[in-house]
Chains A and B, each alone.
Chain A
Amino acid sequence: MIRLQNVGKVFNAAGREIHALRDVNLDIARGEIFGIVGHSGAGKSTLIRLLNRLEGVSSGRIELDGEDVTALDGEALRQMRQHVGMIFQHFNLLGSRTVAQNVAMPLRIAGMKDGAAMAARVAELLELVGLADQGDKYPSQLSGGQKQRVGIARALANSPKLLLCDEATSALDPQTTRSVLDLLLQINEKLGLTIVLITHEMDVVRAICDHVAVLDGGVIVEQGPVTQVFLHPQHPTTRRFVLEAENLDENDEDQMLASVPGCIVRLSYVGERVYEPMLATVAREYGVDFCILSGRVERIKHTPCGQLTLALTAEAAAVRGAIAALEARGVHVDVLRETSPATKGAL
């Protein structure tokens, strides 16, 4: 649905050229939730603003449903934007207008004249976001979560095919974040709406995204399905993001591993296998003792997945057999250390 080809963005600041984005290539499929994660200054705000042309590209091409948006101008550009919704970190609601008037604004912009039809559409949208009885309030009378729901209702007013979320939950507390993310997921599934969101929180990506791209210094350093990126991060930036999301610290883990005997493996598995007692079965079969050093079993969007770090103690042949048996069951096994470390003095 959206295709970015070799997209670059250069800003001129005080006579110096600043490369905000460099050679970005992305393919976003219809109906998916696509996350773009990066630290502040990584270029993600610029990237999402290229999609509805709030910023123009410096080089490259952006296709939206086969149409080159970089070439749009004037009325054609406004038409395109009417079919792309956007929500913002700070909501950006009109403080001088009621909730209902805010939601009606894109309808007015699109030229809707019929007051009754407009009121009906606004009521429908407010119902969808769970604010049916709040239409006459002013934004200043609402909580942050409610404001973002108004923002979502406004963004959906003209039945867009694409919704852009600019750090939509970054100003909200964890519980409100969860409820807004659930609403986005519900809209995505109910309306088949494609969603592109940018965030600095990997938790957001884990909760609702199908695919993720990691942006660092204006360059996409890694992209793929969320489960894959979470379980097997390749780039150091991605690894840091995943560790942050899991509240882990790489150094602590290394230290812990050094003091444990045996062969150390990391198992990663997704899907229904998570609920099978395969670890115990394999251990019994090969006579392997295991100790769980660290691990997590969770859901990434709707997919259950697990990642465990184990110390296996047994003869080398038995360990190899157990690993092969686990792999045969579809578990991805990384051997972190073959055997016990050389003894460092007496314990």
Chain B
Amino acid sequence: MDSLLQIILAIDWAEIAQASLDTLLMLGASLFFTALAGLPLGVLLFLTGPRQLLSQPVVYGGLSFMVNVLRSLPFIILLILMIPVTVQLTGTSLGVAGAIPPLVVATIPFFARLVETALREVDRGIVEAMLASGASTRQIVLWALLPEALPGVIAALTVTAITLVAYTAMSGVIGGGGLGDLAVRFGYQRFRSDVMAVTVILLLVLVQLLQMAGDRLVHHFSRK
């Protein structure tokens, strides 16, 4: 037992607390902006897609290509490419604030694709019934498609949140901080297995909590 106590005492808990806070900040802010921009983009992708309400092959092709470009770019490269834009947006390319724009840009296309898929899962008959009732496209999206796809959208947001947790680990490159960064800097580069273990456990707990919360919400909003 003595050794466990030594291990616990040897860890800088203030640093771990700060890293946890940074992770949560980056996660919360990025998730918020991703949802804000990704949801409309997902709806637009869906609506302009083949055989959909506003079928626009050129617009869909363009959006789809952009999404694919951003998704195929390794996050670490995006992080560096984004630096000028990030400085414009936040005034700095460093720290938590500097990490948020690239995180958002990386996850918007990912989330938008998942939203598009969730909307495609909605029975076409429902759109047909709304059209037959004389609904406009706006009414169909807001009153039928999104409410029907809500469990799928929440599931998409859950997956996106967990992906963000993984991405935040890489933000250490620009001094973004957070648990993942701590694991790399202390645990890996300075051979501090104890710090590594603690951060990994904390990340695991975070991912687990996100998944559980997401699943519970999906269940709550499912009527099938």
Q: Cβ of B188: which chain A residues have Cβ within 8 Å of it? A: none
Q: Which of A81, A88, A109: most chain B Cβ within 10 A? A: A109
| Residue A225 is within 8 A (CB to CB) of chain B in the complex | no
Shortest CB distance A137–B (Å): 10
Q: Mark B128-146, 1 if CB is under 8 A from A, else 0.
A: 1111111110010001100
Q: Cβ of B139: which chain A residues have Cβ within 8 Å of it? A: 108-109
Q: Is the CB of B135 within 8 A of A109?
A: yes
Shortest CB distance B138–A (Å): 11
Question: Given the complex of chains A and B, what is the CA–CA distance between A175 and B224 in angstroms?
Answer: 25
Q: Cβ of B132: which chain A residues have Cβ within 8 Å of it? A: 52, 54, 81, 84-86, 164
Contacts A90-B125, A108-B143, A109-B139; A54 near B224 (Cβ below 8 A)? no
Q: Cβ of A84: which chain B residues have Cβ within 8 Å of it? A: 132
Q: Which of B130, B132, B221: most chain A Cβ within 10 A? A: B132
Q: Which of A77, A85, A106: most chain B Cβ within 10 A? A: A106
Q: Cβ of A154: which chain B residues have Cβ within 8 Å of it? A: 129, 133
Q: Is the CB of A96 within 8 A of B134?
A: no
Question: Given the complex of chains A and B, what is the CA–CA distance between A52 and B131 in angstroms?
Answer: 9
Q: Is the CB of A88 within 8 A of B224?
A: no
Q: Is the CB of A78 within 8 A of B150?
A: no
| Residue B15 is within 8 A (CB to CB) of chain A in the complex | no
| Residue A281 is within 8 A (CB to CB) of chain B in the complex | no
Q: Is the CB of B148 within 8 A of A96?
A: yes
Q: Is the CB of B223 within 8 A of A96?
A: yes
| Residue B123 is within 8 A (CB to CB) of chain A in the complex | yes
Q: Mark A71-99, 1 if CB is under 8 A from B, else 0.
A: 00000011111101110101111111100
Shortest CB distance B145–A (Å): 10
Residue among A82, A90, A110, A140 making CB contact with B223, cutoff 8 Å: A140
Q: Mark B75-94, 1 if CB is under 8 A from A, else 0.
A: 00000000000000000000
Contacts A94-B147, A96-B150, A108-B143; A81 near B128 (Cβ below 8 A)? no
| Residue B73 is within 8 A (CB to CB) of chain A in the complex | no
Q: Cβ of A158: which chain B residues have Cβ within 8 Å of it? A: 133
Interface positions of A from 185 to 229, Cβ below 8 Å from B: none
* Interface residues of chain A: helix, strand, loop or mixed (majority): mixed
Interface positions of A from 36 to 94, Cβ below 8 Å from B: 52, 54, 77-82, 84-86, 88, 90-94
Q: Mark A256-275, 1 if CB is under 8 A from B, else 0.
A: 00000000000000000000
| Residue A290 is within 8 A (CB to CB) of chain B in the complex | no
Q: Is the CB of A95 within 8 A of B134?
A: no
| Residue A138 is within 8 A (CB to CB) of chain B in the complex | yes
Shortest CB distance A18–B (Å): 16
Q: Is the CB of B223 within 8 A of A105?
A: no
Q: Cβ of A95: which chain B residues have Cβ within 8 Å of it? A: 148, 223-224
Q: Is the CB of B128 within 8 A of A54?
A: yes
Residue among A80, A85, A92, A110 making CB contact with B126, cutoff 8 Å: A92
Shortest CB distance A82–B (Å): 4
Shortest CB distance A102–B (Å): 9
Shortest CB distance B15–A (Å): 46
Q: Mark A158-190, 1 if CB is under 8 A from B, else 0.
A: 100000100000000000000000000000000
Q: Cβ of B128: which chain A residues have Cβ within 8 Å of it? A: 54, 88, 92
Question: Given the complex of chains A and B, what is the CA–CA distance between A81 and B132 in angstroms?
Answer: 6
Nearest A residue to B129, CB-CB: A92
Q: Is the CB of A138 within 8 A of B131?
A: no
Contacts A88-B125, A109-B135; A96 near B147 (Cβ below 8 A)? yes
Interface positions of B from 127 to 184, Cβ below 8 Å from A: 128-136, 139, 143-144, 147-148, 150
Shortest CB distance A115–B (Å): 16
Q: Is the CB of A81 within 8 A of B224?
A: no
Shortest CB distance A155–B (Å): 8
Q: Is the CB of B135 within 8 A of A92?
A: no
Q: Is the CB of A82 within 8 A of B134?
A: yes
Q: Is the CB of A105 within 8 A of B143?
A: yes
Shortest CB distance B52–A (Å): 14
Q: Is the CB of B133 within 8 A of A109?
A: yes
Residue among B126, B131, B134, B136 making CB contact with A94, cutoff 8 Å: B126
Question: Given the complex of chains A and B, what is the CA–CA distance between A92 and B128 in angstroms?
Answer: 8
Question: Given the complex of chains A and B, what is the CA–CA distance between A105 and B130 in angstroms?
Answer: 8
Q: Is the CB of B221 within 8 A of A109?
A: no
Q: A52-B132, A140-B224 are in contact. List 6 more A-B contacts (CB 8 A).
A: A86-B129, A90-B123, A91-B125, A108-B143, A109-B130, A154-B133
Q: Which 3 residue pairs spanning A and B have beta carbons closest together?
A: A82-B134, A81-B134, A92-B125
